[in-house]
Chains A and B, each alone.
Chain A
Amino acid sequence: MRKMLWMLPVVALLAACGSNGPTDKQVGAAAITGAGSTFVYPVLSAWAADYAAQTGTKVNYQSIGSGGGVSQVKAGTVDFGATDQPLAPSELAQGKLAQFPVVIGGIVPVVNLSGVEPGKLRLTGPVLADIFAGRIKKWNDAAIVEANPGTALPDAEIAVVHRSDGSGTTYNFTHYLSQVSPAWKSGPGEGKTVAWPTGVGGKGNEGVAGYVRQIPNSIGYVEYAYALQGGMAYAALQNAAGSFVSPSSKTFSNAAASADWANAKDFDLVMTNAPGADAYPITATTFVLMPTSPSDKARSKAALDFFRFAFEHGQDQATKLDYVPLPPALVRQIETYIAQKIK
């Protein structure tokens, strides 16, 4: 997702130059402001540049982390917040906030095993949980061998790599482990940081990717784009339907389509372990938070217009940056929700 990032300032600059002329007059509100998730930052910035080029309205997004995004939007200092961990309907009601998903991505277990190619290694959910819990210590453990007939696995200790900083990626990953492994659920549990029973911690996706590349026989988890760019060997995971699925934009959108959005109040749904036959099990979304009765209605409307633009015209940008756009049915549901909730 970061591969196009270096272009953003250039794009933004071009956009600014292009729009300073005749379109200037149609800028009603000042720049829309948002803050939160780092996961969504690249695609949100790309959308913002496109949107500024077309309408002249600027979107200023600060990637300060999901937790920061939530507290900023609650304090009313920004027009929208973005978080990787959805808020419960009760907390939304208390903070007078509305919540909807904007884009889909995936989290991928990456390994450094000599001779194992991307997608070749197969892991089940419980085995993955046991590895990260330190219960499975060797690569040639019977549980791993059983899922990988025909693959030569070394008699080596597994080195676990996790995130050292608080992160929505960790939240989604541990949420998945909690769902597939009761032992994990009662042990470390789920959260943006958890008490890891074993392993080393890398800072950020790049830190984890760096450690996995440096340490032989290691396993870690990163956003899909990092696995792709680094050419890292990722593992195929067994999903809820029982089939082994490799991460790809196709299997991510399968997961999004099969998740039960229709019955999720305020979209309070984490998509991990989605039921679809070909759905990738650790698929994640970023959620946007906005006040239901904003003090400045013009700015709120401008922000909503921006997200509508992103849903309609942002698919190409999202795909280019290795995200997955929301399925059309979900977008329609969001439109209805926004119309009802945000006055």
Chain B
Amino acid sequence: MTAYIPIEMTRGRSVGADRAFSLFTTGAAWFVLLLLGATALSMAWGGRLAFQTFGLGFITSSEWDAVQGKFGALVPIYGTLVTSAIALLIAFPISIGIALFLTEIAPRWSRGPIGIAVELLAAIPSIIYGMWGLFVFAPFMGAHVEPWLTDHLGAWPILGTLFDGPPIGIGMLTAGIVLGIMIIPFIAAVARDVFAEVPAPLKEAAVALGSTRWEVLTKVTLPYTRSAIIGAIFLGLGRALGETMAVTFVLGNAHDLSLSLLMPSNSIAAAIANEFTEADSQLYRSSLIALAFLLFVVTFIVLSLAKLLLLRLKRVHGRTL
């Protein structure tokens, strides 16, 4: 048996250093919390004029008219959530695929180079994605993908409304796909590290019991790493919710509420970036700051839901990595 020395027993040798270290780490942790609270508070304070003027209508109204001084945040909130959802729908399976390939299937010599390439993707500035989206991807979507979607799915009863509209290549679908490509490296890199942590004996035992590769994947690797994978997904989602430049380029920046994914919309971050410099009335500026506060709230709600989901999973299936 290994004998562990309790930390208390090291007392006397470096009490001062220990205490300083403990103070420093505690301070750092509380500082982050303080910063978070201060940011939220100052945005709520900056947006108080908008909240006072419009009340709950600020969240439920889709009207955004600087000339008449009427502001409602429904379109940016909707656009932010829809584009992020599309991004996640695309990024999740692909990143998990990349991570599984790198840890389970790829020949050992190729894992390093491919892994580094995926990580490098994360280092590309978002403006590059935006310009690629505008000059290369949007015309491709407008010329090939969107007409096909309208022709083949546009007539379907409910799904059809999602793909209705002129194929201009700029809109929520394009923005969601570009966002999805942007967050793939984030999810893939974390997922790969997590999959590598699955103990080899577990997998070997499964193989010994006659499991196929697919069964090892779905019955051992994925359940074992569930919480960490969900964490990785929400890291990506957090980035998608707040992404500004790339979205501004391909989303269309129009305050129109439309169910069709082919239509232009707006996102919270893009609206702030676009309009803040020339927001010359008090109410206009306050509304933009209130938007920033709402982005904070939206992100907070989404991450809290993730945390709740994790807790539930832990209760039902037991603790995992």
Binding site for B on A (CB under 8 A): 64-68, 70-71, 157, 159, 164-167, 188-196, 198-203, 207, 210-211, 214-216, 218
Contact = CB atoms under 8 A, between A and B. Distances in A.
A196 B254 contact: yes
Given A195-B255, A214-B139, A164 B170 contact: no
Contact of B67 (A71, A165, A190, A199): A190
A121 to B, nearest CB: 20
Contact of A166 (B139, B264, B279): B279
A214 B67 contact: no
B286 interface: no
Given A70-B280, A166-B279, 20 more contacts: A66-B278, A67-B277, A164-B248, A164-B275, A193-B278, A195-B64, A195-B65, A196-B254, A199-B264, A200-B171, A200-B252, A200-B254, A201-B264, A202-B253, A203-B253, A214-B134, A214-B135, A214-B139, A215-B142, A215-B168
Given A192-B66, A194-B65, A215 B280 contact: no
19 contacts: A65-B277, A70-B280, A159-B166, A164-B253, A164-B275, A165-B274, A166-B66, A166-B275, A188-B65, A190-B67, A193-B275, A194-B67, A202-B253, A211-B134, A211-B170, A214-B170, A215-B169, A215-B170, A218-B168
Main SS of chain B's interface residues? loop
B26 interface: no
Contacts of A207: 249
Contacts of A65: 277-278
A159 B254 CA distance: 13
B304 to A, nearest CB: 31
Contact of B280 (A67, A195, A214): A67
Interface in B19-74: 63-68
Given A164-B248, A214-B134, A214-B169, A188 B66 contact: no
Nearest to A199: B254
A164 B64 CA distance: 12
Contacts of A218: 168
Contacts of A215: 142, 168-170
A270 to B, nearest CB: 15
Contacts of B99: none
A165 B270 CA distance: 10
Interface in B230-279: 248-249, 252-256, 264, 270, 273-275, 277-279
Contacts of A195: 63-68, 255
B81 interface: no
Interface of B: 63-68, 134-135, 138-139, 142, 166, 168-171, 248-249, 252-256, 264, 270, 273-275, 277-280
Contacts of A214: 134-135, 138-139, 142, 169-170
Contacts of A200: 168, 170-171, 252-254, 264
Nearest to A201: B253
Contacts of B264: 199-201
B280 A203 contact: no
A64 B280 CA distance: 12
Most buried by A among B135, B254, B273: B254
Contact of A67 (B67, B134, B278): B278
Given A200-B264, A203-B253, A214-B135, A191 B66 contact: yes
A189 B253 contact: no
Contacts of A67: 277-280
Contacts of A166: 66, 275, 277-280
A166 B256 CA distance: 17
A61 to B, nearest CB: 16
Nearest to A202: B253
Contacts of A64: 277
Contact of A192 (B134, B138, B253, B278): B278
Contacts of B248: 164, 203
A211 B130 CA distance: 13
A195 B64 CA distance: 6
A215 B296 CA distance: 34
B107 to A, nearest CB: 41
Nearest to A66: B278
A207 B264 CA distance: 15
Given A166-B279, A191-B67, A203 B170 contact: no
Given A67-B280, A71-B280, A203 B168 contact: no
A210 B168 CA distance: 13
Contact of B275 (A165, A190, A211): A165
A67 B288 CA distance: 15
Contacts of A68: 277-278
A193 B66 contact: yes
Top 9 closest pairs, chain A to chain B, by CB: A166-B278, A164-B253, A201-B253, A67-B280, A200-B252, A195-B65, A191-B67, A65-B277, A200-B264
Given A165-B278, A191-B67, A194-B65, A157 B138 contact: no
A191 B138 CA distance: 29
B67 A189 contact: yes
Contact of B274 (A66, A194, A199, A203): A203
A68 B65 CA distance: 20
A194 B66 contact: yes
Given A164-B248, A215-B142, A218-B168, A192 B280 contact: yes
